[in-house]
Amino acid sequence: MKNDHIPPDWAFEFHGHRCPFMPIGYRMGRLAIEFLKVEREKDHRFFVFPEIGEGHPQTCMVDGVQAATGATYGKVLMEKTFYGKLAAIFYHPDKGAVRYSLTPDFIDTMGKFEFFAYRKKGVEPSRIPTPVAEEVINWVYAQTDDFMFKIEAKPDFKFTPVKGSFNKEKCHICGEYVFERYVRTKDGMPVCIPCSGYKR
């Protein structure tokens, strides 16, 4: 077995179904944190910018990246770039950045598995016969890192998260709390964006 980075069962449970892309993202994320010599992020100091978008397949990769790195969407450590590419930049303020992408050869070879014939017919992953899903997952596990990933150090990559604030106000219209970055003013009163009628 060439692959030491098989997702734990909980990562499949989090994701909701068994497909090859969550494990691919898990492996990418683990390799990236090893490359940058960081631990899985417990708090708020490691950032991932997946280059996927919407309206295309194989985005499931990004749930594997969340599981592997701890750079989760909820902790505001992950933001898609909407480039429609199977790649991600990983960044730690003290360690720099690296980009991992899937090689076209790997994507082409994997695309021949029966799993993708089902997907193209519109069959949802949880409805694909188990042996068909496991076949491609196990094939992915057996591939080398070199065949799967292109790795690019990104010494010039910079990212500064916005400065946080605990301040908040109650919207004068709905009465709900709004954190101050998002408080707007209407008729001289503090309001939330939806009550303001402003677009942002």
Interactions with a second copy, residue window 104-133 (CB under 8 A): 104, 107, 119-120, 124-127
Q: What Cα–Cα distance (Å) separates residue 190 from each residue in 25, 109, 149, 163?
A: 42, 56, 49, 21
Comparing CB distances to a second copy, the nearer of 45 and 95 is: 45
Phi, psi of 192 (to 5 degrees): -85, 165
- The amino acid occupying position 35 is F
Binding residues for a second copy, how many (CB under 8 A)?
A: 77
Q: How far is the CB of 154 from a second copy (least distance, A)?
A: 12
List all residues 6 or more positions away from 74 whose beta carbon is below 8 Å from its beta carbon.
none
Q: How far is the CB of 96 from a second copy (least distance, A)?
A: 19
Q: How far is the CB of 45 from a second copy (least distance, A)?
A: 8
14 binds a second copy (CB under 8 A): yes
Comparing CB distances to a second copy, the nearer of 56 and 112 is: 56
The binder of a second copy chosen from 28, 31, 33, 86 (CB under 8 A): 86
Residue 127 C-alpha from the chain's centroid = 24
Pairing of strands 96-102, 149-153: antiparallel
Query: Which residues, numbered 46-85, are part of the site for a second copy (CB under 8 A)?
Result: 52-57, 59-67, 70, 72-76, 78, 80-85
Q: Are 102 and 76 in contact (CB under 8 A)?
A: no
Token output for 194:
């939806």
